[in-house]
């Protein structure tokens, strides 16, 4: 039977003719069928994936040069465009819409011989932390089906967690890759804002959004990152900086300087086992010759409100394009007044959480309240950026939990949006500042669910982030003792 452990091992098996791409795809299709009740996929491209696999098998057997992701089976969050394939942001407003072009990240996958196996369920327009806000229904956590997988990229996380693909892509605006990775016990990376092109990523909050990667090993995540990053003429916010060859520079005996925050580890919302797990890790790191020091962080309680003011403001503007005229869903009622037509289409097309955020965002941008909310939130963002900049003058990395609690029970948070928002306390910082952050599944809770440490690095210092991640995944896993 085919067992996937890493891209490198898979490639070795292909070259030794122990396996074919077709067999790998068949294996994943079978797994997807067996786990259909988890609802991780909205659509599976079974025939197309098998066809691509067979072309790749022929190409390899003919001795032709193979791509860096030859035969690697990948799943995409339903907010990432893939030409001539439907994309809906898990929303009724885009049901039946097909991508007219491929996202840059997807094009780079295809150029390197990857196989896209399907599109994954997510919270509507990437708004949520449980994957319960989807027009396609909720996704279940494969480790405990009474729990959510986290969100918004819940389907992509479960696709890796349950062994339904090798790698998946999500998007992370405030934690949507790191938090589901934490709830599912896998690795989730949000790169620096501007590292991966956002061309072809459906916008939620454009100054926060970033494509992120789910995987089982740091080497795989590093390899995928180096392939899909880099300058792009279609996204002017992407850095022109050369992408380092991350995957070949992961090991070493460097000693790192960590900053951590007592305010975060002693926060009233944190599960005591999570804080003691991270505190224990800090002690171990110090014993092993790294340095770890507490740094003051007075802004902690302001960052979730600032995040929700700024992202809803951006969302209210970004989502104004779904008007029923240009594309997407259109009301079936015959309405002659244009404004009424917009209202009806949008009322029918958007789900509850998306409507809540459009209204919140419109409110904070309105003339009477702009300074009280939007301007103040921008000031918090600026103060936070300044503070983080100072921290990185003296430290290489920051250590935090990913989430204050382990995976919620299905339905637990859905009727209390504020409680759900507040659980984003540790992830939104990286998006407000634009720095890279990763969630590493090092721990197991007494309730049997996994939990993670989150590590953040300075802008464009993914190399240090991945090096330390490789060290931690190799030597600091507490869940395997």
| DSSP for 28-42, written as a single string | HHHHHHHTGGG--EE
Closest CB to ligand GLN among residues 154, 349 = 154
Measured between alpha carbons, how far is 236 from 321 in angstroms, rounded to an integer? 21
Closest CB to ligand GLN among residues 150, 349 = 150
Contacts with ligand GLN, residue ranges (CB under 6 A): 126-129, 152, 171-176, 204, 311, 424
Q: Which of 153, 156, 171, 176 is catalytic?
A: 176
> Closest-CB residue for ligand GLN?
176
Strands 257-260 and 187-190: unpaired
Structure tokens at 406: 């382990």
Instruction: Find all residues with CB under 8 Å of 178, minimum gap 6, and list them.
Output: 172, 188, 189, 190, 212, 402, 427, 430, 437, 438, 439, 452, 454
Look at the chain and count its residues. Answer: 481
Q: Shortest Cβ distance from residue 17 to ligand GLN (Å)?
A: 42
Burial code of 71-109, b = ≥16 C-beta within 10 A, e = fewer?
A: bbbbbbbbbbbbeebebbbbbbbbeebebeebbbbbbbb
Residue 32 contacts residue 41 (beta carbons within 8 Å):
yes
Residue 384 contacts residue 166 (beta carbons within 8 Å):
no
Q: Shortest Cβ distance from residue 70 to ligand GLN (Å)?
A: 31
Question: 44 to each of 143, 195, 396, how far by Cα in Å?
Answer: 22, 28, 41
Q: How many helices (H) and strands (E) does the chain have?
A: 16, 11
Closest CB to ligand GLN among residues 121, 173 = 173
Helix ranges (H only) for 120-248 are: 154-161, 178-184, 218-228
Phi and psi angles of residue 422, each rounded to the nearest 5 degrees, phi first: -65, -25
Q: Shortest Cβ distance from residue 128 to ligand GLN (Å)?
A: 5
Structure tokens at 369: 């309240």
Structure tokens at 278: 């991270």
Q: Shortest Cβ distance from residue 171 to ligand GLN (Å)?
A: 6
Q: Shortest Cβ distance from residue 311 to ligand GLN (Å)?
A: 6
Closest CB to ligand GLN among residues 304, 453 = 304
Question: 203 to each of 87, 321, 344, 456, how far by Cα in Å?
Answer: 13, 11, 22, 24
Q: Which of 77, 108, 138, 444 is catalytic?
A: 77
Of 444, 396, 401, the residue nearest 279 (C-alpha): 401
Closest CB to ligand GLN among residues 125, 258 = 125
Q: Which of 99, 152, 156, 469 is catalytic?
A: 152
Does 275 qualify as catalytic in the annotation? no
Measured between alpha carbons, how far is 357 from 355 in angstroms, rounded to an integer? 5
Instruction: Find all residues with CB under 8 Å of 382, minimum gap 6, and list them.
Output: none
Closest CB to ligand GLN among residues 89, 457 = 89
Closest CB to ligand GLN among residues 109, 204 = 204
Does 90 qualify as catalytic in the annotation? no
Q: Shortest Cβ distance from residue 424 to ligand GLN (Å)?
A: 5
Instruction: Find all residues with CB under 8 Å of 287, minimum gap 6, and list them.
Output: none
Closest CB to ligand GLN among residues 126, 264 = 126
Q: Shortest Cβ distance from residue 196 to ligand GLN (Å)?
A: 15
Q: Shortest Cβ distance from residue 201 to ligand GLN (Å)?
A: 11
Q: Which residues are catalytic?
A: 77, 152, 176
């Amino acid at each position: 039977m085919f067992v996937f452990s890493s891209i490198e091992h898979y490639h070795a098996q292909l070259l030794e003719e122990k396996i074919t791409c077709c067999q790998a795809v068949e294996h994943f299709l079978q797994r997807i069928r067996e786990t259909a009740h988890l609802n991780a996929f909205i659509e599976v491209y079974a025939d197309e994936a098998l066809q691509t696999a067979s072309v790749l098998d022929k190409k390899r057997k003919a001795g032709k040069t193979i791509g860096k992701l030859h035969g690697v089976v990948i799943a995409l969050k339903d907010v990432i465009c893939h030409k001539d394939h439907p994309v809906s942001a898990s929303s009724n407003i885009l049901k039946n819409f097909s991508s007219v072009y491929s996202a840059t990240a997807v094009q780079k996958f295809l150029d390197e011989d990857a196989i896209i196996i399907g599109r994954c369920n997510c919270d509507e327009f990437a708004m949520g932390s449980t994957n319960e806000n989807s027009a396609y229904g909720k996704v279940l956590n494969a480790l405990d089906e009474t729990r959510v997988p986290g969100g918004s990229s819940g389907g992509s996380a479960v696709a890796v967690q349950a062994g339904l693909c090798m790698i998946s892509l999500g998007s992370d605006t405030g934690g949507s890759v790191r938090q589901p990775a934490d709830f599912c016990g896998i690795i989730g990376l949000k790169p620096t804002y501007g590292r991966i092109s956002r061309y072809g990523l459906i916008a939620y909050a454009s100054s926060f959004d970033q494509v992120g990667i789910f995987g089982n090993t740091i080497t795989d995540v590093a390899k995928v990152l180096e392939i899909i990053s880099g300058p792009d003429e279609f996204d002017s916010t992407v850095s022109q900086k050369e992408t380092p060859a991350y995957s070949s520079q992961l090991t070493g005996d460097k000693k790192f300087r960590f900053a951590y925050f007592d305010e975060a580890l002693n926060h009233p919302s944190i599960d005591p086992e999570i804080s003691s797990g991270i505190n224990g890790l800090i002690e171990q790191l110090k014993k092993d010759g790294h340095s770890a020091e507490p740094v003051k962080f007075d802004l902690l309680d302001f960052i979730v409100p600032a995040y929700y003011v700024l992202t809803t403001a951006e969302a209210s503007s970004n989502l104004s394009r779904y008007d029923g005229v240009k594309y997407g869903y259109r009301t079936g009622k015959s309405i002659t007044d244009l404004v009424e037509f917009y209202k009806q289409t949008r009322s029918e097309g958007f789900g509850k959480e998306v409507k809540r955020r459009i209204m919140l965002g419109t409110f904070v941008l309105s003339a009477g309240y702009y300074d009280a909310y939007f301007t103040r939130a921008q000031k918090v963002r600026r103060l936070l950026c300044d503070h983080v900049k100072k921290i990185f003058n003296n430290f290489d990395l920051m250590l935090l939990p990913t989430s204050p609690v382990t995976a919620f029970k299905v339905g637990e948070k859905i009727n209390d949006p504020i409680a759900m928002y507040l659980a984003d306390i540790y992830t939104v910082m990286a998006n407000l500042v634009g720095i890279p952050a990763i969630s590493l599944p090092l721990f197991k809770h007494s309730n049997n669910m996994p939990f993670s440490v989150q590590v953040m690095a300075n802008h464009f210092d993914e190399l240090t982030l991945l090096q330390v991640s490789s060290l931690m995944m190799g030597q600091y896993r507490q869940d395997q003792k």
